[in-house]
Structure 1
């Protein structure tokens, strides 16, 4: 949607994340980037940062921000504006000052620490078992729609005590909130529905917050945030809505794809399924390796220069966007030996799939636990499940959106 102007002084690179076949196997398209620390992508109007060390450096460098309002083209797409979307972006964790961001994370972080997340295990197991019960008896299944999509939204809804009837809107809202983070890659015809989903979701969250204010729930995350606001902390109602929106976005669609991509990688490696069923502890390593080896990201994670910066041998102007190419960073041989080999027993200490620094993903512990419970339960219940056909993918500006993953639940009768 944005017009690109060629600048001959920039080291540019051809990058085609929307080419046919990219979602199925993006790594041949990433190949030209692997020898470059940084290069300019004209179509996306962004610098692509490609090495593990440089990505870490940007995460930790205060001259780069996650606040999209710092982008030189912020507001350039007038159609992508609404009071609800403006309120979410203005009050999001990504847009807060360092002090406000630290305060907001301090309020919500205790609920996402490992010990707190571990207490959600029975609830998650119940949601997973319910999804598997619905699949029991079926000959074939689409693991994306019939399993993966049934879990993360319900988990975050349960954590916030939001009624189940809102799950479908929750999902649409989370997808829309994620897509609007990449305005230059949106199609004009997609914007009206995106704004409608944002508006409906915002209204629903506003109503839920008002109801929770009148009817607090002991031990509830949302109740704790509301009470903190009432005790004089800085969370206003728009900030509360935006913070909950962040939890929804971070805790739903990305975890759907973690479950889907892990299932696919295991179905391609039947011997690994047997090893996991014999040694359930190996599953944690499988999930980490899927995040590294077959990440669902299509383009990078955006950051914006708050001043003119010299970085990785190039001059980056204030307001320019950087895309942190996590997929390349996690296949960087200097950080991960034999990076193109799938090895669930490797040391993934340097994994950057959930970011790094002040904006490290709040929901990382939750996503990992959901993945372990969902995948472990799925393959224990259906150990003879087999892949019927390769997955298909739906259009999306930011992620490899797996749409179908069709499996046969039991062997054919002979």
Structure 2
């Protein structure tokens, strides 16, 4: 096996996705890696980085790769010895065994199809309207702080049918789940969030039991009633599903809303196309996810055997990160990848992943994003950017924390 640290590389090249300025323009880094080091050994994290579209797709579709956590970190412990965070991880669809994954996905798949999700659109619209009501009079708006920061979690709270008197507790739990899976806060704040997780888990377990006895309607009731082969989800699998809906439905969607509004406002020609053809909204959202991906590092995959690739060996069990953001700008798949075009053919898009672990709830997430963007553009037709977005350092996302806009042109 070639020494991964000895592969030919530019003397001054260093991969650090948390470096200051990386989030503003990561594309030259990815382009260099695609051309010169498509399988890059990241010494700091002892992991491989893949940046070409075909290689990223391989990690998602090839059965020689697994997402199971047992290939990374400590051996499994009995449920009784797990922390609340570990429990949510074990029973989340990202890391559960293939057998459990197939059962859970098969049981609930119909609940997340586009026609089923459409029934929740009015609930999501009410959440958006409630947030934006009264903002026009201010003349200015921070898209992140004033709009999208809490929006997806509030939408999910409504969709699940959480009783009104428990909204605040559930939203606190949702915030703790997000920081558990996407930590980007200081140690003291992180510890505070983690200390709340057991209370939040108990809250959700109680809601499941109450709803099982007296269904309230909503997505949680539907999850409880879901069956595959006459068998439903176990209480822990239901807990895991709630955790996954929070984590996958909140963090990526809120960034996608911000990035979509940003890119449409800074490309007025494309915004004009969308206003003339509003049915292109879904394609526009997908193009934003391709052209200006908010992602950086996705969850790792783990080879189940040694795999030869680009002259190196991906050793069994070694973490492999396929960089979706880079793959989405691979010129071999997307001609002229640095051009923003909302009419672009989206075949090959990895916005919602692909393969066995493609995003089950992508229709729900897409709807949450589309309702927010459509409402913003409709309510504020003269909106314009007041400055560049501000990012904070984050492992998983190009995390936009501020996007000031004028609402009056």
TM-score by length of 2: 0.89
- Give the 3 Å change call, closer, same or farther, for CA 345–229 of structure 1 in structure 2: closer
Q: Residues 103 and 290 from structure 1, CA distance in 2 versus in 1: closer, same or farther, beyond 3 angstroms?
A: same
CA contact (8 A) 1:92 1:242 kept: yes
Q: Which moved more, 1:231-240 or 1:131-140?
A: 231-240
Look up the match of 2:327: 329
Instruction: Give the 5 Å matches for 1:295-310.
Output: 295-310=293-308
**Cα distance, 1:346 vs. partner?**
0.9
Corresponding residue of 1:94: 94
SS in 2 for 1:120: helix
Of 258, 261, 268 in structure 2, the residue corresponding to residue 260 of structure 1 is 258
Cα distance in 2 for partners of 1:177, 1:20 equals 23
Please name the residue that 1:15 is paired with: 15
1:153, distance to aligned residue in structure 2 (A)? 1.3
- 1:173 paired with 2:176, answer yes
SS at match of 2:149: helix
SS in 2 for 1:373: helix
SS at match of 1:302: coil
Structure richer in helix, relative to its length:
2
Greater shift in the superposed pair: 159-168 or 40-49: 159-168
Aligned to 1:149: 149
Following superposition, the deviation at residue 230 of structure 1 comes to 12
Q: CA RMSD in A?
A: 2.6
Cα deviations across residues 263-310 of structure 1 (Å, max 9, x unaligned)?
111121233333322221222222111000101112244111223222
> Is the partner of 1:285 in helix, strand or coil?
helix
* CA shift for structure 1 position 67: 1.8
SS in 2 for 1:393: strand
1:52 corresponds to which residue? 53
Give the TM-score normalised by the residue count of structure 1.
Answer: 0.88
SS in 2 for 1:21: coil
What are the within-5 Å matches in structure 2 for residues 176-255 of structure 1? 176-179=179-182, 191-218=190-217, 220-228=218-226, 233=231, 235-255=233-253
- CA 1:296/1:43 → structure 2, altered by over 3 Å: closer, same or farther? same
What is the CA–CA distance in structure 2 between the aligned matches of 1:16 and 1:211, rounded to whole Å? 47
Moved more, 333-342 or 229-238: 229-238
1:78 aligned partner: none
In the comparison of the two structures, how many residue pairs are matched? 396
Q: Note closer, same or farther for the CA distance 1:353–1:231 as it changes in structure 2 (3 Å cut).
A: closer
Measure, in 2, the Cα distance between the counterparts of 1:332 and 1:63: 23
Structure 1 CA distance for aligned equivalents of residues 154 and 185 of structure 2: 28
Alignment of 1:77-156 (within 5 A): 83-156=83-156
Contact 1:11–1:39, Cα closer than 8 Å, also in 2: no
User: Where does the alignment leave 5 or more consecutive residues of structure 2 unmatched?
Assistant: 76-80
Query: What corresponds to 1:291 in structure 2?
Result: 289
Partner of 2:64: 63
1:132-163 per-position Cα deviation (integer Å, ceiling 9, x unaligned): 21423112111112111343212221221114
